[in-house]
Amino acid sequence: MRTNTENGTQHFDVLIIGAGISGIDAAYHLQHQRPESSFLILEALESFGGTWLTHTYPGIRSDSDLYTFGFEFKAWRGAPIASAAEILNYMGEVIEENQLHEHIRYQHQITDADWSSEDARWTLRGQRTDTGEAVVFTTSFLWMCQGYYRHSSGYTPEWPGMENFVGPVIHPQRWPADLDLAGKKVAVIGSGATAATLVPAIAGSCAHVTMVQRSPTYFYPSPNSNEVADMLRELDIPDEWVHEIVRKKILLDQKNLTALSFSEPELVRGELLRMVTELLPEDYDVATHFTPRYMPWRQRLAKVPDGDLFRGIRDGQASVVTGDIQSFTSAGLTMTSGEQVAADIIVTATGFDLSVLGDITFRVDEVLVDFAETVTYRGMMFTGVPNLAWVFGYFRASWTLRADLVSNFLCRLFTHMDELGVRSVTPQLRSCDEDMELSDWVKGDDFNPGYLRRSMHLMPKCGDVAEWRHSQDYWEERELFPSANLDDGCLIFTPTN
């Protein structure tokens, strides 16, 4: 690894924050497209994996298929929906095969990032989470792969009477390794992908599990297999081809489903409800418990592989209560309807705390950066903030699809900067953009999960033209990113001193 050390501080061409799937993706692309660049990943946790390392609750799995959640460059060989352990194993293979270990420093929590225009570099400060030792690095470019939520704790709302409950209240992000569920009644508050995973995973191993939801979510039951992949494998087609073909097929199917969700929402809604109804007992109250108030795809569509969530309900091991919680009691929950939910353990699958750029304090030439006052360049860089990019993936499609696109874009940008002989790049609104209407990072009528609604005021703004938009549209960005004109005046390049 090529690095410089000045006054005891190591300098890298690129520093990547986070060794989750986005950070590994960034490192791989840098290594292959920019072999002359020195780079290092700084990761607060003790190992790689990010989301898939932090979450250890029973049944933890993807809700995307791994053909698209996996990298563009590494074939997926398993069933489409994968456990956290399988995803970690896959990421571990990429690290191993590309000798990325030597490019990662674990237990390095970064807290401060200072840009100096004079030196054209960031200075990052933080500490080791194991020893408390202070750490300092410098870099020419900061590639933020910190994900979107705080890993140290999840989001748990306050309910009246919480202190009265005698059992443990557990957030899935902090699942105790020694939690014994045998013979216990468990209430899981929430109806998103986490609850949908957790409920079937524990249904057989506790006395009873009740999913307590304020309002229903769309679920998409489907077999955890892929017919095209199975057929190609039977024909002995190489794994790399299977990956590529199945990925393309899934992407096309998703594109069609997303388009249909907007053009014919009632049709999609009807079909999703029909699939769920078929898996529930006759006379089940689908209208109350499984009919969402929003139209499909306004929130992430939770896949239910092999319909396992509904099996527990059919078998009487799991049930659903829909409504508002009035209070916790010593023995469970009281709903505003008066219904009592008996529980020995309460799990709050209530979501995340959004963390904008890894809870790092950023300064540019000693001035604090407020990202909410910036406008995003193509959803990956920020006006007025030099040499910094972040990876914020897709909600409707797999996150990693965008990580791949951003990686390819940034490697092209670095090469362009070399060709121009410049050291810094800063997005800046052109004169023609100055009267542009600005909007939220994600429009509420487009996609509106709670963690985004709660924290939208902290996020950068978007404009109304492609250069300043964060479209959340894989198909659009797949065309736009590789062909984006880097000299259209949105990116201000500053020459080497």
Ligand X SMILES: Cc1cc2nc3c(=O)[nH]c(=O)nc-3n(C[C@H](O)[C@H](O)[C@H](O)COP(=O)(O)OP(=O)(O)OC[C@H]3O[C@@H](n4cnc5c(N)ncnc54)[C@H](O)[C@@H]3O)c2cc1C
Nearer to ligand X, 258 or 334 (CB): 258
Name residues whose C-beta falls within 8 Å of residue 131's C-beta, 6 or more positions apart in sequence.
none
Nearer to ligand X, 302 or 413 (CB): 302
Phi, psi of 492 (to 5 degrees): -95, 120
Q: Which residue has the tokens 């249909």?
A: 260
Nearer to ligand X, 145 or 484 (CB): 145
**Residue type for position 408:** N
What is the closest distance, in whole angstroms, from the C-beta atom of residue 233 to ligand X in the complex? 22
Nearer to ligand X, 195 or 425 (CB): 195
The pairing of strands 340-342 and 104-105 is unpaired
What is the closest distance, in whole angstroms, from the C-beta atom of residue 166 to ligand X in the complex? 28
What is the closest distance, in whole angstroms, from the C-beta atom of residue 146 to ligand X in the complex? 3
Per CB under 6 A, residues contacting ligand X are 17-23, 42-45, 50-51, 55, 62-64, 69, 109-110, 145-147, 151, 194, 358-360, 391, 393, 398-399
Helix axes 239-263, 227-234, angle to 10 degrees: 160
What is the closest distance, in whole angstroms, from the C-beta atom of residue 356 to ligand X in the complex? 10
Token pair recorded at residue 274: 């029909």
The pairing of strands 325-329 and 318-322 is unpaired
Instruction: Label residue 283 left, alpha or beta by phi (over 0 means left) and psi (-120 to 50 means alpha).
Output: left
What is the closest distance, in whole angstroms, from the C-beta atom of residue 387 to ligand X in the complex? 17
Nearer to ligand X, 396 or 423 (CB): 396
Q: What is the Cα gyration radius of the chain?
A: 24
Asked if 459 and 441 touch (Cβ cutoff 8 Å), the reply is yes
Nearer to ligand X, 196 or 490 (CB): 196
What is the closest distance, in whole angstroms, from the C-beta atom of residue 396 to ligand X in the complex? 9
What is the closest distance, in whole angstroms, from the C-beta atom of residue 61 to ligand X in the complex? 8
Helix axes 474-483, 399-420, angle to 10 degrees: 10
Token pair recorded at residue 415: 């090469």
Reported as type and span, the H/E element at residue 10 is strand 9-17
> What SS3 state is found at 495?
strand
Nearer to ligand X, 42 or 341 (CB): 42
